[in-house]
Structure 1
Amino acid sequence: MSDSKPLVLDVDGTFLKTDMLLEAFWAGLGRNPWATLRASLRHFRQPARLKAELAAIAPLRIDLLPVNPAVAELALNGAATGREVILASASDASQVAPLAAQYGLSPRVFASDGSHNLKAGAKAAALVAAFGERGFDYAGNSTADLPVWAVAENALVVGRVRGTDALAGQGQNVVALPGAEGGWRGALVAMRPHQWVKNILLLLPLIAAHRFDLATLIPILWGIVAFSAAASSIYIVNDLLDLEADRLHPKKNRRPFASGAVPIGRGMVTGALLAVLALGVAAALNPGFLAVVIGYMITSLAYSLKLKRMRWVDIATLATLYTIRVVAGAAAGQVDVSIYMLIFIFPVFIALGCVKRLTELTLATNDERLPGRGYGRPDREDLLHVGGLGVCGALVIFFLYSVSDQGRALYPDTWLMWLALIPMAWWLVRMVVLGWFGQQDYDPIVFAMKDKLGLGILMITLSLMFWAAGLWADWFGG
């Protein structure tokens, strides 16, 4: 490569490991969803205008956008030796110019301006007009860059791009640079399969009703598949909405989309396919279960878009989402769910929602509000109190259920139900205490499924309930 000629860099997928149009779209959905959707629908066929409007709706934190290390090193080394390093992008100029300034690159940039979309042939023409044919080196990452490489002195190809073999065959000097590394494996990570363990909650109605038969179990297992797909689609949406907040987080900044390991577009396709799978399986089970899945997805989207930023409302919504899983299990298996169960588990999940926020705040490094949340470290005591109320409420409701007609019918040995209150209280209080001291995972349900002592306490509780129901005697005689 000639150091006397300008080095021109594409931005989206080249200098950056992300796409600023998609970044602006998801940032806009998080800040002003109606304006973002309106602009997207109105200017869908006018990409330059769309980019300008989205950039105005949701200005990006340029300093947080993930860069491609290989391309950034090339650019910064070139600039350090006095070579002009220029950004040329189809993204809007209002985003590209600050990016160049952020990294000390040339103030001369080529970008879309709201009227003209600087892509493919239009970009090639603009660069040739400025520098002449073969008057610059160019780095890009897609087939849209083929017309630009054709008129550049050297073609720097980021990642794998179809059609570049022809350039080499025509005598063009082609230099390969590494691109995004995550691929579909990274997309699987974004689906958070470890979170699927939460969907074991769909089995609670089966256990509570003592319906241990395959005719009930198999539909619930299919329900777990549907809920896992639905949850993963929402996790992807949540991560795309939370890009800026995740990049400010000490651990979440390594998530696939926040780090740029997986392209945003790939995440959008994956999320859509998962949503279709969830709704398809749900529809195949029964209309009631399909309605529950749709309600879960709508509530989850509302949580991702708005509710998670509202103090206390977010915890109530989390508890609702956990409770919906129990309702879903009843709908999938055609099992009657006790109103006592729903009233009991809701305060349990209120307590666990408080534990989730307590853990985040305890592990926070300062007193500022959590990125994208409504809490700061001064709120820890309030969260502790609400979590304690949730624990007390759950225990009182469990006791009332044990002396109700329905409770006595299913669990004749009431004194054993009272005995089960002891390990149950132990488990709940322990979870709150661990959250207070920051000794948990960021998700209490996931933590609970890996916590050996906690699982042992839960097994003791469940064993006592089975004993109270007479199930041990039915299964093993005596």
Structure 2
Amino acid sequence: MGSQKPLVLDVDGTFLRTDLFLESVWAGLGRDPRATLAALVRTRARPAAFRQAITRLAPPRVDLLPLRAEIAERALAAREAGRQVVLVSDADGDLVAALSDHYGFSGGLGTEGQSRLTGEDRAEALKSAFGLRGYDYAGDSGQDRAAWKAADRAVVVGEHPRIADDLRAAGRRVDAVPGGWRWRDLARALRPHQWVKNVLLVLPVLAAHDFTLPTLVLVLAGMAAFSAAASSIYIVNDLLDLEADRLHPTKCRRPFAAGAVPIRAGMAAGGALGLVALAIGTVLGPAFLGVLVLYMALSLAYSLRLKRMRWIDVATLAALYTIRVVAGAAATGVAASILMLVFVFPVFLALGCVKRMTELALSRTDERLPGRGYGRADRGDLLNVAAIGVVGALVVFFAYSFTEQARMLYPTRWMLWVALIPLAAWLVRMVVLGYRGKQDYDPIVFALRDRAGLGLVFFTLSFMFYGAGLWQRWFGF
């Protein structure tokens, strides 16, 4: 840059591709949600005190925070050239100092006492420390306007052409640096590929052989509500798991962990999607709305606590999948038999174990999975529980064939026993592939892409439809 004046860098969105204060908040919610909420209530009228309290409670690991490459390169080059490099943020001062120390910079300025270091207060603090036009300043938002005006050179991150023109008109030298974020990265954070899980809402319709247009419209609306709710919870889960994701070999590329999407944008999107889900649920009726709220509450509990508890987490995963089946019945008014729910739960319990076995098989170390309670030594136990789930599901399916409902729906009842063969093969295949680490991290998503597995599912359904007389009714054979 040519100048030897101190280089002052806004931390949030400029030096880092994330917000230091919000990182602390979500780290606190992830590690100790009760203490975090208590600190918020206790300091609700004192924002600076809350920043200090949350930093003491759950300081984020500064070595894992994502950097904005262009600004980081400038900062490191300035440091090597002997210039002072100072970080500034409205996060707690101790946290800013820790970040500065990690990168070997000259110091850090953050919120202290009762005032936040933003806007005019930030500009006054910088003028007091370095003098008017005694420093160069890099920032990324309109809140940095006062600090830019008091600086000698303004480094403007992101698309702010009007601010840049005003600064040039005021005689400031301006450097523009690309910034911002892309909507497609936010869309990626919604994990639309996971929406395929909501095909489980169709199971009660399949079991009841009710394929009328009104029923299908209702189940599609239910799937839309669950997709919006799931994406909302995925965002919350990713924000709670920022540190664990950054330590993961592939999850480190998730939008919030990588800093591709601001935390604030994620919070807004998550809240909006949750409201959309509840609105659709309200239209579909109180029964469906109740199931949807249960799903969202259990998903939130899973994200906050349950996923860190061994065995509780796989049982919760199974429950979340099973709730989708109940939701399909509630949306359409189709009755879901108790035996169906007793059947699907052990299936999903086995798949929950498959998910953890896959993660352990793909892990690069023998340490416990970040944010989970399992290590490689648990693979054998997970395999045993998965086997119990498979056997339990097949026994329940066989028992269902002797019920009155099965006699009514399946005139050729022995075809249900034939359907057990490909069903058993599919379940065993899923468990074996998970144990060997040959799956994706989500077994349901993998199952819907696995051609051989889909073939087994197709044979299972074909035998069941033949036993029900549906092929004969639809195609005349």
Q: By the TM > 0.5 criterion, same fold?
A: yes
> Counterpart of 2:462?
463
Q: Secondary structure at the match of 2:448?
A: helix
Q: Write out per-residue CA displacement over residues 372-405 of structure 1, whole angstroms, 9 at most, x where no aligned residue.
A: 0000011000000000000000000000001122
CA contact (8 A) 2:8 2:86 kept: yes
When structure 1 is superposed on structure 2, of 341-350 and 39-48 the one drifting more is 39-48
Q: What is the Cα deviation at residue 422 of structure 1?
A: 0.4
> Counterpart of 1:392?
391
Q: Write out per-residue CA displacement over residues 250-284 of structure 1, whole angstroms, 9 at most, x where no aligned residue.
A: 00000000000000000000000000000001101
Is 1:100 the counterpart of 2:105? The answer is no
CA distance in 2, matches of 1:340, 1:87: 61
Q: Write out per-residue CA displacement over residues 184-228 of structure 1, whole angstroms, 9 at most, x where no aligned residue.
A: 211110000000000000000000001010121111100110000
CA contact (8 A) 1:50 1:114 kept: no
Q: Secondary structure at the match of 1:299?
A: helix
Q: What is the Cα deviation at residue 42 of structure 1?
A: 3.9
Q: Secondary structure at the match of 1:109?
A: strand
CA contact (8 A) 1:51 1:114 kept: no
CA distance in 1, matches of 2:363, 2:412: 46
Identical aligned pairs, as a percentage? 59
CA contact (8 A) 1:401 1:407 kept: yes
- Paired letter, 1:171: G
What does 1:230-269 align with in structure 2 at a 5 Å threshold? 230-269=229-268
> Counterpart of 1:331?
330
> Counterpart of 2:144?
145
> Counterpart of 2:71?
71
Q: What is the Cα deviation at residue 115 of structure 1?
A: 2.3
When structure 1 is superposed on structure 2, of 95-104 and 110-119 the one drifting more is 110-119
- Paired letter, 2:57: I
Q: What is the Cα deviation at residue 131 of structure 1?
A: 1.2
> Counterpart of 1:43?
43
CA contact (8 A) 1:226 1:278 kept: yes
CA distance in 1, matches of 2:454, 2:443: 13
Q: Write out per-residue CA displacement over residues 428-464 of structure 1, whole angstroms, 9 at most, x where no aligned residue.
A: 0000000011000000000011111111110000000
Unaligned runs of 5+ in 2: none
> Counterpart of 1:197?
196
CA contact (8 A) 1:146 1:164 kept: no
> Counterpart of 1:128?
127
CA distance in 2, matches of 1:296, 1:114: 42
When structure 1 is superposed on structure 2, of 31-40 and 16-25 the one drifting more is 31-40
CA distance in 1, matches of 2:328, 2:179: 43
> Counterpart of 1:57?
57
Q: Write out per-residue CA displacement over residues 215-244 of structure 1, whole angstroms, 9 at most, x where no aligned residue.
A: 211111001100000000000000000000
Is 1:406 the counterpart of 2:405? The answer is yes
How many residue pairs get matched? 476
> Counterpart of 1:295?
294
Cα RMSD after superposing both structures = 1.1
Q: What is the Cα deviation at residue 2 of structure 1?
A: 4.3
CA contact (8 A) 2:21 2:90 kept: no
> Counterpart of 1:427?
426
> Counterpart of 2:442?
443
Q: Secondary structure at the match of 2:199?
A: helix
> Counterpart of 2:175?
175
> Counterpart of 1:26?
26
CA contact (8 A) 2:358 2:437 kept: yes
CA contact (8 A) 2:448 2:454 kept: yes
Q: Write out per-residue CA displacement over residues 35-88 of structure 1, whole angstroms, 9 at most, x where no aligned residue.
A: 212322443443211211111111111100001111100000110111111112
Is 1:14 the counterpart of 2:11? The answer is no
CA distance in 2, matches of 1:477, 1:159: 64
What does 1:277-426 align with in structure 2 at a 5 Å threshold? 277-426=276-425
- Paired letter, 2:125: A
* TM-score for the superposition, normalised by structure 1: 0.98
CA distance in 2, matches of 1:120, 1:164: 17
CA distance in 1, matches of 2:232, 2:458: 32
CA distance in 2, matches of 1:465, 1:73: 63
When structure 1 is superposed on structure 2, of 241-250 and 85-94 the one drifting more is 85-94
Q: What is the Cα deviation at residue 109 of structure 1?
A: 2.1
CA distance in 1, matches of 2:118, 2:2: 24
Q: What is the Cα deviation at residue 417 of structure 1?
A: 0.7
CA distance in 2, matches of 1:477, 1:85: 79
Q: Write out per-residue CA displacement over residues 341-379 of structure 1, whole angstroms, 9 at most, x where no aligned residue.
A: 000000000000000000000000111000000000110
Q: Write out per-residue CA displacement over residues 321-347 of structure 1, whole angstroms, 9 at most, x where no aligned residue.
A: 000000000010110001110000000
- Paired letter, 1:304: S
CA distance in 2, matches of 1:467, 1:21: 60
- Paired letter, 2:183: W
Q: Secondary structure at the match of 2:357?
A: helix
CA contact (8 A) 1:330 1:337 kept: yes
